Amino acid sequence: MTGDTYKAGQVLLIDKPLHWTSFQVVNKLRWEIRQAFDIKKIKVGHAGTLDPLATGLLLICTGKMTKQIDGFQGQVKEYTGTITIGATTPSYDLETEIDGTFPTSHITADVIKSTTQQFIGEIMQQPPVFSALKKDGKRLYEYAREGKIVDIKRRTVTVSEFEITHIDGNDINFRVVCSKGTYIRSLAYDFGKALNSGAHLSALRRTKIGNFDVSEAISIEKFIGGLKSNAIN
């Protein structure tokens, strides 16, 4: 590919590594494309945020394809991951420390599997306080880190599939297919409550966005290596 190819518009399938923010991936790829082809300015954006503690498919759009971002964001998504029962955290994942522990001895594999049915279809969900959503022009996680309590409205999302793939003690491995705007962290938290216990998300990987599959995605390092090879040729 050439610099003009990226300006004309490309959709890049990137396998986001752990601890990177989606914004960091966008900035890194934009900088590398500019450097490789001596481009002063190019639009680069992502179609759907992944939390730093999540890995998997991140769609990166360049040039004129950035106009298609809203369309990509609206597509159905698939995730796999692990819900750990018996403990909660303020962020609903491992970004924050455990703030509560709960009994789990009453929870059987059959109960876990049957409880998933409560979360299939249209469900009401409250976004985590530690999220990038804005209220009055400020990110919710900024309020949370200041210890301020804000009113977050519940909203309707759709979960079309919620499958338990493996249970290992308090760790429940799952696969979820859901609509835009679904917070898997909130799903984990609510799932713990439905089990008359508590839970948090301990691992998450996005595997699909519409027809795009993470099996077709490449690492940031591999993308950069390909860029440099193209620039030399």
Distance CA 112, CA 93 (A): 19
| Domains of the chain listed by start with CATH number | 3-74+213-232 (3.30.2350.10), 77-209 (3.30.2350.10)
The DSSP bridge partners found for residue 219 are none
pLDDT one-digit tens code per residue, 25-64:
999 999 999 999 999 999 999 999 999 999 999 999 999 9
Distance CA 209, CA 134 (A): 24
* DSSP characters over 176-188: EEE-TT--HHHHH
Return the percent helix, strand and coil in the chain, to nearest 5: 35, 35, 35
Q: Is it the case that residue 148 has pLDDT exceeding 70?
A: no
Q: What is the mean pLDDT of residues 8-20?
A: 96
CA angle 154–158–164, rounded 5-degree value: 110
**The one-letter amino acid at 141:** Y
Task: Assess contact for 185 and 93: CB atoms under 8 A.
Answer: yes
Residue 42: name the closest of 7, 4, 5, 1 by CA.
Answer: 7
Kindly give the pairing relationship between strand 199-209 and strand 54-62. Answer: parallel
What single-letter DSSP state applies at residue 120?
S
What pLDDT, on the 0 to 100 scale, is given for residue 75?
97
Q: Is it the case that residue 217 has pLDDT exceeding 80?
A: yes
Residue 127: name the closest of 184, 168, 78, 43 by CA.
Answer: 184
- Kindly report the backbone phi and psi dihedral angles of residue 69, in degrees, each rounded to the nearest multiple of 5, phi listed first: -60, -45
Residues with catalytic roles: 51
pLDDT one-digit tens code per residue, 178-197:
999 999 999 999 999 999 99
Distance CA 188, CA 83 (A): 6
pTM of the model: 0.91
| C-beta atoms surrounding 213 within 10 Å | 13
